[in-house]
Structure 1
Amino acid sequence: MPTTTAAPPVSRTRRAVYSEIINFAYDTFCGNSIGANLIYAEYQAGAARITNTAPDPITIDDMNAVQGQVSGIVAASPVMSLGERIPVGGGKERDIMILGTFPQYRTVRNLVVVTGRFFDQQDEMQHNKVAVITEKMANLIYGSSEDAVGKVIKLSGLPFTVIGTFKERVDTFGQSEVTDNTMVIPYTVSRYFSDNPAIKQIYFSVADPSLVEPATEQIRKVIQSRHRPESTYNVENLTQLVSVAEKTANALTVVLFLVAAITLLVSGIGIMNIMLSTVSARIREIGIRKAMGATNREIRLQFLSEALLISLIGGLIGVVIGLAIPYSVRFLTAYRIPISGLSAIVAIVTSSLVGILFGTVPAARAAKLDPVESLRYE
């Protein structure tokens, strides 16, 4: 039988160094991609354990009360989450996430139907055992989205016909209740698997973005008024989440900048020490070059070039590692870290400047060596 599991609200991890990532986050979550009109509500279960009282989760009745008392709400949908293992062939099984929700969920979450259709009000009212699955799940289990439509998936012995596949309009970086292996079924049918009236989240959509803030506060008050005073409920909108994330990212940017500055300083000192040792070891070579007509400028350029080469190699290695990490995370998980080509260019240019800056002293010392004394050096 499916087991109930928690599903996090739609959000997106926005911790990054560069400010353009914050702008991208705002455009993604507060623009039309997911919807500037989206508000979600959920019960904070931890509060009940701290106060040693019974859980007081949100229910469908809360959603109906909000729709009746808060103006401007154009759509609402509950989310009930369940976990199940299904056979995928070859004697193997796969864990999937099952979401029981309303047909309005597609509109509220701005989902894209890839093949087939999303279930409708008739499916909901008639308790039709139909399902839509993610495009990635369809490709993984059935080979393609087209081949998935019409297939039957059994949940606790009940057959569900796949009527469509879908995907999120934008990448939510693994922070959505929709995972790669998600199956969405009508809410009325999901009640077959649980007698508990509790639901994990409620999504609301308001008519205009200007109504989001006042509606958020009104929804919070309505839900809180229907439950015990000590119970805690999280009612948020995406604008608030991005604002908090932006402050966090800015603080992290400062910390990482300081770490990078210290790292560059230590690296620069290391390059300078290496080059000073190189100059000391090649005094006779410098004397021979000067005796053969090399100018101080040519000697200086030679050692500056060597310092630049060392720093460039270090910079390129750093860029390769820096690119390998997000690509590895992207390959191993659903989390997609934005990669900026500008960042790689800045890293290479910065490492080059560090090499030139800290290579100046050794290069100048090499250029000032007296050729006669250098040839006598043992």
Structure 2
Amino acid sequence: MLQSFKLAIRSIWGNKMRSFLTMLGIIIGVAAVIILVSLVNGYMGSVVESFASMGVNQINVNVTNLSSRSLDVDEMYAFYDEHTDLFDGLSPNVTVSTTIKHGDDSLTSTSVAGRSEQYLEIKDYKLEQGRNLSYADIAARQKVCVIGAYVAQELYGGAEKALGETLKVGGYAFKIVGVVEAQDEDDLEQGGTDDFVWLPYSVAVKMSRNANISSYTFTIIDTTKAEECKTQIENYLYEIFKDDDLYRVTAMSEMLDSLNEQIAMMSGMLGGIAGISLLVAGVGVMNIMLVSVTERTREIGIRKSLGADKSVIMRQFVIEAAVTSSLGGLIGILIGCVATTAVGAAVGINATPTPAAIIISFSVSVGIGLLFGYMPASRAANLNPIDALRSE
């Protein structure tokens, strides 16, 4: 075995250009698999992270209230209180379409919404200044608000200056009792994650002139029980509406699982497409090995006449093909890893070579060497020694 390996290395080194051209297809194929799969995983990983930041422990509920069948906020809170073993947060959500003003300055794209006192914890945000909305604010319909860092900076010049100031929301004066820490400190922008105003939902309902709230956000204690929590909510809503078209319950963890499945499928498809080049490279390996057998027919005849049996000859050529494809695979891995990091940095993606892609692509390259090297090796092993010695 060691002698066959040495002969394979000597043959490859003796025909450097031909060996390199034989490896080229393997190199390109392996590098392509690593680069494509790693870049897709890196991009999709950033998508998953941004998706997960929405809260994988959240369940969003939207209902369509009718005059004959409707759900009020007290009923939803009664359901929540009965299932504190499953849920640890609830916030009604009331969107208010309006403009906010301070003096002569106004903001038109700011998200204004009614929230509960638990919404800060639901979003996992922290306060930079002041306090959060309280149950007393909601019960007494106090005209107070909590604002995002962009609003504080744009209208007041900072969180500390904004605290205690008055903000006009839809013509009503609200006292700013809290400022949330910036979620995107490097880029406070209009319409971004820090451009919002939270009001007590009881006040927002009056401002939006809606009799009943149609949107709620729950947080669940155990994400592994997301399906059970979702079923409990759906059963409760069906008892009220008697029509599952009048409500929609969405578990964020289920959507994340679905997204991960799609990512895995996409990575597999792209890896498979890139892997086609490995098959093409395998044909190249077989062709070059057939040429090698033809060129070395006399050598094979001499070895056979000296007592080498078929298995020795076959092993020599199979090992040579495997070594050629393995070296190509190793070079392809090196190029693929460097290119993945460079391309990822260039396009702003945190892409790192995927171990699975490296292992699979290298294994396939070695397998191709063995598979496509078998036929030339078999041909060499079955040569007649006398005919081989006559070859020029």
Question: What TM-score do you get using the length of structure 1 for normalisation?
Answer: 0.54
Question: Alignment partner for residue 98 of structure 1, among 93, 106, 112?
Answer: 112
Q: Which has the greater radius of gyration? A: 2
Q: In structure 2, do the counterparts of structure 1 residues 126 and 201 end up closer, same or farther at CA, with 3 Å as the change threshold?
A: closer
SS of equivalent residue, structure 1 residue 164: strand
Q: In structure 2, do the counterparts of structure 1 residues 148 and 326 end up closer, same or farther at CA, with 3 Å as the change threshold?
A: farther
Question: Alignment partner for residue 273 of structure 1, among 280, 283, 286?
Answer: 283
The residue identity in structure 2 corresponding to 1:351 is S
Q: In structure 2, do the counterparts of structure 1 residues 351 and 189 end up closer, same or farther at CA, with 3 Å as the change threshold?
A: same
8 Å contact kept, 2:285–2:372: yes
Q: What are the Cα deviations for residues 152-204 of structure 1, in whole angstroms up to 9, with x where unaligned?
A: 77655667647221589xxxxxxxxx973452412244346522335342234
SS of equivalent residue, structure 1 residue 112: coil
SS of equivalent residue, structure 1 residue 180: coil
Counterpart CA distance in 1 for 2:170 and 2:237 is 33
Q: In structure 2, do the counterparts of structure 1 residues 278 and 126 end up closer, same or farther at CA, with 3 Å as the change threshold?
A: same
Structure 1 gap ranges (5+): 1-15, 46-54, 169-177, 332-336
Counterpart for residue 307 of structure 1: 325
Question: Alignment partner for residue 357 of structure 2, among 336, 347, 363?
Answer: 347
SS of equivalent residue, structure 2 residue 126: strand
Counterpart for residue 91 of structure 2: 77
Counterpart for residue 185 of structure 1: 198
| Mapped pair 1:121 → 2:135 | yes
Structure having the larger proportion of residues in strand: 1
8 Å contact kept, 2:319–2:370: no
Structure 2 gap ranges (5+): 1-39, 184-190, 304-311
Counterpart CA distance in 1 for 2:100 and 2:346 is 28
8 Å contact kept, 1:80–1:199: yes
8 Å contact kept, 1:72–1:207: no
Q: What are the Cα deviations for residues 267-290 of structure 1, in whole angstroms up to 9, with x where unaligned?
A: 442121122333456679868999
8 Å contact kept, 1:63–1:76: no
The residue identity in structure 2 corresponding to 1:132 is I
The residue identity in structure 1 corresponding to 2:147 is V
Structure having the larger proportion of residues in helix: 2
Counterpart CA distance in 2 for 1:374 and 1:83 is 92
Note the C-alpha offset of 1:102: 1.4
Counterpart CA distance in 2 for 1:199 and 1:328 is 46
The residue identity in structure 2 corresponding to 1:194 is S
Note the C-alpha offset of 1:64: 0.2
SS of equivalent residue, structure 1 residue 130: strand
Counterpart CA distance in 2 for 1:266 and 1:277 is 17
Counterpart CA distance in 2 for 1:322 and 1:78 is 45
The residue identity in structure 2 corresponding to 1:344 is T
SS of equivalent residue, structure 1 residue 269: helix
Counterpart for residue 357 of structure 1: 367
| Mapped pair 1:133 → 2:148 | yes
Alignment of 1:51-66 (within 5 A): 56=66, 62-66=72-76
SS of equivalent residue, structure 1 residue 163: strand
Counterpart for residue 31 of structure 2: none
The residue identity in structure 2 corresponding to 1:307 is S
| Mapped pair 1:234 → 2:234 | no
Q: In structure 2, do the counterparts of structure 1 residues 94 and 128 end up closer, same or farther at CA, with 3 Å as the change threshold?
A: closer
Counterpart for residue 13 of structure 1: none
Q: In structure 2, do the counterparts of structure 1 residues 229 and 275 end up closer, same or farther at CA, with 3 Å as the change threshold?
A: closer
SS of equivalent residue, structure 2 residue 125: strand
Counterpart for residue 51 of structure 1: none
Note the C-alpha offset of 1:345: 1.4
The residue identity in structure 1 corresponding to 2:193 is D
8 Å contact kept, 1:58–1:200: no
SS of equivalent residue, structure 1 residue 202: strand
The residue identity in structure 1 corresponding to 2:276 is V
Counterpart CA distance in 2 for 1:275 and 1:57 is 75
Note the C-alpha offset of 1:79: 0.7
Note the C-alpha offset of 1:95: 4.2
Counterpart CA distance in 1 for 2:132 and 2:215 is 20
The residue identity in structure 1 corresponding to 2:128 is T
Counterpart CA distance in 2 for 1:210 and 1:303 is 50
Counterpart for residue 62 of structure 2: 42
Note the C-alpha offset of 1:101: 0.7
The residue identity in structure 1 corresponding to 2:145 is V
8 Å contact kept, 2:125–2:181: yes
Counterpart for residue 201 of structure 1: 215
Alignment of 1:139-158 (within 5 A): 142=153, 147-151=158-162
Note the C-alpha offset of 1:68: 3.8
8 Å contact kept, 1:40–1:236: yes
Q: In structure 2, do the counterparts of structure 1 residues 247 and 68 end up closer, same or farther at CA, with 3 Å as the change threshold?
A: closer
| Mapped pair 1:164 → 2:179 | yes
Larger relative contact order (C-alpha < 8 A, sep ≥ 6)?
A: 2
- Aligned-residue identity in percent: 16
Q: In structure 2, do the counterparts of structure 1 residues 272 and 123 end up closer, same or farther at CA, with 3 Å as the change threshold?
A: same
Q: In structure 2, do the counterparts of structure 1 residues 122 and 274 end up closer, same or farther at CA, with 3 Å as the change threshold?
A: same
Note the C-alpha offset of 1:133: 2.1
Q: In structure 2, do the counterparts of structure 1 residues 314 and 103 end up closer, same or farther at CA, with 3 Å as the change threshold?
A: same
Question: What TM-score do you get using the length of structure 2 for normalisation?
Answer: 0.52
Counterpart for residue 111 of structure 1: 124
